[in-house]
Amino acid sequence: AVQAARGEAASAFGDDHLLLEKYIAAGRHVEVQVLADQYGQVVHLHERDCSIQRRHQKIIEETPAPGVPEPVLAALTEAAVALARAVNYQSAGTVEFILAPDNAFYLLEMNTRLQVEHPVTELLTGLDLVSWQLRIAAGERLVLPEGGVLRRGHALECRLYAEDPAADFLPSIGEVSFYRPPAGPGIRVDDGIASGSRVTPYYDPMLAKIITWGADREEARRRMIAALEETIVLGVATNIPYLLAILRHEQFITGGVTTHFLENELAEWQPAAPADDLILAALAAAELFASSRPSVAAAAGQPAPLDPWSAVGRWRNV
């Protein structure tokens, strides 16, 4: 293996030197959000736990990281700030670490951009990270405490993918015949689809990010379950059933899972087949929706026709 790696490195880069890294068998993926301006000020916006991964692809992210002792979190954030300051970093960025079972941590990399999962930090801190990225680029000074911004509550993010859990997560392509995202207090949706959108094989299969906030982790988790159950995607398969299985798993509820959680605990998972009565109800709802039209009364503020999707109840995708 070493000789093969040396040969590949030499042919690709003209240098066959290798860097050996310690393998962490039961690690957690914990990262720190930082902001740094052009005047030497660097602040951290706390950590995110991104350990729920399938084939090294993040699926669920959250903040704060459950079960990590405060002294360890303090050391992580201090290390992230020191790294950004050492390279004179200027912008929003993320410093990623592997956290070992003994709470020792090791640098993975620094992503010099906003991450997909940045909304959980926004919900936790109340800051607009996109705005701050632009303000820093425009030469503004950070007006945030260097010791860290106050955080409130707990936030979760689930990535909604167009993939079929029943077929080894093969990509699902085609037209989204109907899409309705969840809504309500403590729920945010960042999406790139609408009813009629086409999902092609040429781009990342992510359709949306569903983010929930709660006063504590359990409230955020329950709110996420409700949000996913209320999300409707017709025409393409999605990973919603898989996300729900993760959120309801006892180890996830307890917190502190490792990056091997899915392969160890859900490797044999299969979605439950929908009951016949649910399929019939969904078809009836689709027929009712197709035949319904907005009414003048509804436009005037009077009660609108019954929403067929709500009439069916909470379900996911058919």
Residue 251, domain member (yes or no): yes
Tell me which residue range forms the domain holding 56: 25-265
Domain assignment present for residue 305? The answer is: no
Residue 224: inside a domain, yes or no? yes
Is residue 213 assigned to a domain? Answer: yes
Q: How many domains does the chain have?
A: 1
For range 299-313, the mean pLDDT: 49
Name the pLDDT band for 289 (thresholds 50, 70, 90): low
pLDDT at residue 217, rounded to an integer = 98
The share of the chain scoring above pLDDT 70, in percent, equals 86
Is there a domain that residue 15 lies in? no
Q: Copy the structure tokens of residue 283.
A: 């078809």
User: Which tokens is 294 given?
Assistant: 């907005």
Supply the mean pLDDT for the chain: 90
Q: What pLDDT is attached to residue 6?
A: 93
* Cis status, amide bond into 119, omega within 30 of 0: no
Confidence of residue 280 (pLDDT cuts 50, 70, 90): low
CATH of the domain at 118: 3.30.470.20
Q: Are 110 and 95 within 8 A, CB to CB?
A: yes
* Mean pLDDT to the nearest integer, 109-131: 96
The per-residue pLDDT for range 54-113, each reduced to its tens digit, is 999 999 999 999 999 999 999 999 999 999 999 999 999 999 999 999 999 999 999 999
Cβ count near 88 (within 10 Å):
10
Q: Is the pLDDT of residue 312 over 70?
A: no
Active site residue: 6, 54, 113, 135, which one?
Answer: 113
Helices (H), ranges, the chain: 2-13, 70-86, 118-125, 129-137, 217-230, 240-247, 250-254, 261-265, 276-291, 296-299, 308-312
Tokens standing for residue 208: 């949306």
Q: What is the pLDDT of residue 303?
A: 45
Question: Does residue 290 belong to any structural domain of this protein?
Answer: no
What's the pLDDT at 41?
A: 95
Tens-digit pLDDT profile for residues 181-198: 999 999 999 999 999 999
Question: Quick check: is 113 catalytic?
Answer: yes
Rounded to an integer, what distance in angstroms lies between the CA atom of residue 318 and that of residue 1?
A: 46
Which whole number is the average pLDDT over 120-143? 97
Pairwise pLDDT comparison (148 vs 62), residue with the higher score? 62
Classify residue 252: in a domain, yes or no.
Answer: yes
- Whether 284 maps to a domain, the answer reads no
Q: How confident is the model at residue 286 (pLDDT cuts 50, 70, 90)?
A: low
